[in-house]
Amino acid sequence: MSSENTAAPQTPKPSSSGGTLDRYFNITERGSTISTEIRGGLATFFAMSYIVVLNPLILGLTPDSSGRSLGVPQVAAMTALVAGVMTILLGVYAKHPFAMAAGLGVNALLATTIATTPNLTWPQIMGLVVWAGVLMTALVLTGFRTAVFDAVPESLKTAIVVGIGLFIAFVGLVNAGIIRRAETGSTPVVFGVHGHLLGWPTLVFIVGLFLTIILYVRKVRGAILYGMLASTALSLILEAVAPSGSVQANPLGWSLNVPTWDGSGFGLPDFSLLFSADLFGAFSSLGAMASILLVFTILISAFFDVMGSIMGMAVEAGSIDEDGKIKDIDRLLLVDALGAVAGGGTSTSTNQVFVESATGIGAGARTGLANVVTGVLFLGAIFLSPLVTIVPFEAVAPAMVFVGFLMVRQAVNVDWNDLALGISAFLTIVIMPLSYSIAHGIGIGFISYTVIRVATGRGREVHWLMYVVSAVFAVHFGMGLIEGWMR
């Protein structure tokens, strides 16, 4: 320490012209300015606004056991509303520049796995999401979630993010028809149609993917959104000139929405899904044990999805204290947990911290003021949400693939030289997409890490909470055997 520093006492940093606003969000203290926070908030919104289009296409079109779906316009309106409210709440309460929206892990879990459960309807499914959020909130209030967050090795936190990235990319490729289930042959999946990329929808995906890549590498803010908009415009033109129809009528047709323009995309938002969750219906339809297992599955996915993202962004935003802890982590995790409750209550899936917030952080965002900007823009997007009915999945699948890339980049932070960490991280990453389950990947990773550490005589290095969570996962995976023995 220099003599100048020892001679003069520490003085508060000067306030910017923002006055009260600057002092509340500690803008100057964190080395930022109000104008920089506004730019960061705009950048985050443009980076993640695709969720208003993507989440409805994942959830809104999938039928439940009764054959009913949530509806794309309805999910779109709720997605924008909850994202806006929760993002502002996190910014004002936790003061971090981490925006929130419907998570791309849990919504895929709901649409591809839980929605296929016999005798389970969407209101009942969303009721289970609410219960998962309530439990997660309780775990935060008791300090348990924070303790588990600290107990998981950094390499496993990173592996969870990477695995989710591969899972999201795989879902995008499958729904765009690039990867298809093999009807015959020796492989479970095939590339395109008999190894060839055919059809106008496939062209839309390819154009959208490479346009997004080009815009991103040229550092265009909002590259993902612009890629989706351009792909949608191309799909409308192609469907008008050379109609492909739906995949049900044409193997080379559009997988979900058929892009047609008839003017019906404009109108007031539909808020009919607000408070539509059935909190107790699943317990009546499936029984207590089956319902609890589904709640546990949702809880596990939502509980761990955000770990790696928060840590990585906190480091970049300078939100780590001298002890290596994230400032106000309890507040941050509480709002994230409440996002699950809000998401279930509005049928938008769990809302959580988004890794795309790193875009705003890269643009200079350091405080919760950037979140306020992002949240207000999401609230404004509510009135544009009916337009999503014209967007085909092939136009948003490139976004899923590219977001997967953004998340997979963190694999370099895994300690591959430590075999316990490397092997468990690998299993976490590979199991998620191949099993089509985020929770399965996390569980296998935790169990393998614990077993390897014990087998090599280093069991004392494993936090006791890792033993607890690993045991819970082991019971979860072995529930079929346990139920068989009890018969």
Distances in Å between the Cα of 280 and the Cα atoms of 93, 136, 153 are: 31, 18, 37
List CB contacts of 4: < 8 A, sequence separation 6 or more.
none
**Hey, which of 159-168, 245-254, 305-314, 411-420 has the most confident mean pLDDT?**
411-420
Q: Is residue 266 part of a domain?
A: no
Say if CB 439 and CB 446 are below 8 A apart.
no
Shared domain check, 203 and 333: yes
Shared domain check, 332 and 345: yes
Strand partners, 196: 193
CB neighbourhood size of 188 (10 A): 8
163 versus 422: which is more confidently predicted?
422
Q: What is the mean pLDDT of residues 469-474?
A: 86
The DSSP letter of residue 325 is P
Q: Is the pLDDT of residue 385 over 60?
A: yes
In the numeric block, which tokens belong to residue 70?
């949530």
Distances in Å between the Cα of 27 and the Cα atoms of 327, 329, 366, 375, 378 are: 15, 18, 7, 18, 23
Q: Is residue 312 part of a domain?
A: yes
Q: Is residue 7 part of a domain?
A: no
Distances in Å between the Cα of 105 and the Cα atoms of 31, 43, 101 are: 33, 23, 12
Say if CB 115 and CB 122 are below 8 A apart.
yes
In the prediction, which pLDDT does 99 show?
94
Shared domain check, 279 and 356: yes
Shared domain check, 438 and 409: no
Say if CB 123 and CB 276 are below 8 A apart.
yes
13 pLDDT tier (thresholds 50, 70, 90) = very low
The Cα 252–Cα 454 span in angstroms is: 52
Shared domain check, 230 and 358: yes
Q: Is the pLDDT of residue 438 over 90?
A: no
Percent of the chain at pLDDT > 90 equals 33
Shared domain check, 372 and 442: no
In the prediction, which pLDDT does 415 show?
93
Say if CB 246 and CB 199 are below 8 A apart.
no
In the prediction, which pLDDT does 486 show?
56
Q: Is residue 254 part of a domain?
A: yes
The DSSP letter of residue 2 is -
Shared domain check, 465 and 378: no
The Cα 180–Cα 170 span in angstroms is: 11
Average pLDDT score over the chain: 83
Q: Is the pLDDT of residue 312 over 70?
A: no
Q: Is residue 1 part of a domain?
A: no
In the prediction, which pLDDT does 4 show?
38
Range of the domain at 67: 20-260+275-414
Shared domain check, 228 and 155: yes
Q: Is 26 left (phi over 0), alpha (psi -120 to 50) or beta?
A: left
Distances in Å between the Cα of 283 and the Cα atoms of 120, 131, 304 are: 10, 11, 25
The Cα 101–Cα 146 span in angstroms is: 21
Q: SS3 for 191?
A: strand
Q: Minimal CA–CA distance to 384: which of 68, 87, 45?
A: 45
Q: What is the mean pLDDT of residues 405-427?
A: 91
Q: Which amino acid is at 434?
A: L
Please report which residue ranges of 31-153 form alpha helices under DSSP H: 34-48, 51-59, 72-93, 106-112, 122-141, 144-151
Q: Is residue 269 part of a domain?
A: no
262 pLDDT tier (thresholds 50, 70, 90) = low
365 pLDDT tier (thresholds 50, 70, 90) = confident
- Lookup result for tokens 């569980």: 443
Domain's final residue, options 354, 379, 414: 414
449 versus 116: which is more confidently predicted?
449
Q: What is the mean pLDDT of residues 389-416?
A: 83
In the numeric block, which tokens belong to residue 155?
């390499």
The DSSP letter of residue 342 is H
Shared domain check, 443 and 397: no
Q: Is 261 left (phi over 0), alpha (psi -120 to 50) or beta?
A: beta
Strand partners, 320: 326
In the prediction, which pLDDT does 49 show?
81
In the prediction, which pLDDT does 280 show?
93
267 pLDDT tier (thresholds 50, 70, 90) = low
Q: Is the pLDDT of residue 396 over 60?
A: yes
- Give the tens place of pLDDT for each residue, 353-362: 987 787 788 7
- Give the tens place of pLDDT for each residue, 49-103: 878 888 998 898 888 888 899 998 899 999 999 999 999 999 999 999 999 999 8
Q: Is residue 12 part of a domain?
A: no
The Cα 127–Cα 282 span in angstroms is: 8
Domain's final residue, options 414, 436, 470: 414
Shared domain check, 52 and 194: yes
Total domains, the chain: 2
Domain's final residue, options 395, 414, 433: 414
In the prediction, which pLDDT does 344 show?
94
The Cα 457–Cα 454 span in angstroms is: 5
In the prediction, which pLDDT does 340 show?
94
> Residue 61 burial (CB < 10 Å; 0-12/13-18/19+)?
middle
The Cα 331–Cα 327 span in angstroms is: 9
In the prediction, which pLDDT does 164 show?
77
Q: Is the pLDDT of residue 259 over 90?
A: no
List CB contacts of 187: < 8 A, sequence separation 6 or more.
none
399 versus 434: which is more confidently predicted?
434
Distances in Å between the Cα of 153 and the Cα atoms of 156, 219, 324, 358, 445 are: 5, 33, 14, 22, 11
Q: Is residue 364 part of a domain?
A: yes
Burial 354-376 (b: 16+ CB within 10 A, else e): bbbbbbbbbbbbbbbbbbbbbbe
Least confident of 24-38, 78-92, 227-241, 380-394: 380-394
In the numeric block, which tokens belong to residue 405?
């890339």
Least confident of 4-8, 291-295, 367-371, 403-407: 4-8
Q: Is the pLDDT of residue 388 over 70?
A: no
255 pLDDT tier (thresholds 50, 70, 90) = confident
Q: Sign of dihedral through CA atoms 369, 375, 379, 384? A: positive
45 versus 316: which is more confidently predicted?
45
Q: Is the pLDDT of residue 270 over 60?
A: yes
The Cα 81–Cα 79 span in angstroms is: 6
The Cα 202–Cα 174 span in angstroms is: 11
Query: Pairing state of beta strands 100-102 and 179-181?
Result: unpaired
Where does 296-445 show beta strands of DSSP type E?
351-353
Query: Pairing state of beta strands 100-102 and 351-353?
Result: antiparallel
